Structure 1
Amino acid sequence: MFRTVRTATVTALIATVGVGLTGCGALSDVQDGLQEAEGDLESAAEEIANDGELFTGTKTLDVDGASVHLSCSGEPAVDSPVILLMAGMGDGLDTMADLQETLSEQDRVCSYDRLGEGESDQPEGPQSVADSGEILSAVLDDVSDGPVVLAGHSLGGLIAARYAPDDTERVKGLVLMDATSPTMLDDITEVIPESATGDGAEVRAQNIAMFEGENPEMITVESDAEVRSAGDIPTEVIQHGVPYLGEIPEYGDELERVWSEGQEKWLAVSGASELSTAEEAGHYIHVDQPEIAIEAIQRVTDQAAE
């Protein structure tokens, strides 16, 4: 789609330059025509740079009247999927900037702010994971007319894993970096009882509120043990190795256990999934051990291109 638009635009501009040259007899007229054509070319290049697949930098994408902040970099590799990075709750695409910069040295890489995050608009009201999936679909429509690999951290990973089975024609690989468990809310309330006091009670209350929509995205994240399959697409699930949840008094060890079980549940999203541990990383694997995230994304992208 985008290649056709670019070819037509360039062809039209070449024709304009040709007319200017053949229709002017004086050198000054030729120079004026060239300057005008150069300005047209610059304007067209600027327009093309903001038209989906080829633009580099950031832009605003209109999705049903809402502004979604989008960033892309790197050149499309032949027969290789576009990589889309998806940040966690409370994070903007800037938290993926270093990862994007490194990956874009050999692949086309994009990232975006979901509604309520970063520089995107605030949501008009409560959202569901399915609503966030509709925004994701619009972003994918803009950044690629071919296959994509979704690489999500935390809530971004959950949204990616829930979305992939609904778009198997386009999503050809997944990397889930310490993705929020599909049963996280149930896990927390099971481990930390309503009768808890102190730090445990605070953790329980905060997480219930967050999963019920008291978060920047106003998104409700319900527990659902069903993990639908996206087929046999290459998938890597990476969990944290530094037990930061274990620091929560009384309940920490059990929270670590259910988190690990949640990572194992995500393996059902593909018949070709693998689980690994970033031994020196906490929740932000792509920050604490970026090489682990980079290598996993590159592996999945290479496999998806085969």
Structure 2
Amino acid sequence: MKKRMIYLSCIALLLGACSSSDKTKEYGVTDTKSCDNALILEANKDDLIKDKGSIYCAVDENLSHLDQVTAFVKAGYQAERINEFLKLSYYQDKLTDRYIAYDDQKKSVEDVVTYVNIGLDQPYFTNMDTIQDTKNPLMLINKYHKLPDGYEPVDLTPTPNACVIGEDYSCQSEPQYLVKEVAEAFEKLVEAGKQEGINIKAIASYRSFAYQKNLYDYYANTEGKDYADQYYARPGQSEHNSGLAVDVTLDNENFNEIEKSPHYQWLLDHINAYGFILRYEEDKVPVTGYNYESWHLRYVGKDAAEEITKQGLTLDEYIARKAGK
């Protein structure tokens, strides 16, 4: 705040400095006509950036992002790429150092900011965040965000068209439940499928923490922890613990070969109209942190589902790009 007051109180000096070639040349500024930020050059006496004045003059908004711009300049960035960072609505000042450390200059600025916002610049399960708004159908549950310990949805209702063990192929558990809003949306999806001669069957939906722990521990003990973390979420970090996710199969086919069904494309083309997305896509494994699951549907609400699908994003990316400065 003190720096800002100094800057604002010296506007006259700013204008005068911009018209003085001798003054601005001291800071590496050659085009004095385009320099609107000489005040920063006057205020900042860091020898490392003293000859980088032309970069400051070409950067937008640097009065409000002085510390961030300086970090980029010290890291050797040019004004064009700095501007790309600052113009993003989901760029976060507090993450500037992490953006710089993660940026290999090969990824787009959009991807760098998105992936760091997700947390992918750091090992999984670090800086774990406990979800506060558990009533939000858009809540992000992954390897960086977990549900409160012992969480259980309060409005669970029986899952429509749920499988029956011993009768239906690939049935994983019964009885099954979903959050009421999700169950109602899934029922509409099932009915729409029936109109097309497609039987969309739920093979797994809500799971308790105890169920998820037993599932995870079994594979961690038999296949190893790395395998379990790739294919099975830890308790509290599984979407199934939220009651917002449902695994499906089509026409009683093997669930893990569902994409081979002649009706699978119909499913992908219509789920967003009912508020669902395919959560773990094949080409997004590095983003989601989980293996491809062609059968795992996640409810996020109709508007978000259509926007996520249209933009070709995962839920992780979508949430990361909604973060404000």
Give TM class, smaller chain.
0.3 to 0.5
User: For the pair shown, which has the larger CA radius of gyration, 1 or 2?
Assistant: 2
TM-score, structure 2 length as denominator? 0.31
TM-score, structure 1 length as denominator? 0.32
Higher relative contact order (CA 8 A, sep 6+): 1
Q: Which has the higher strand share?
A: 1
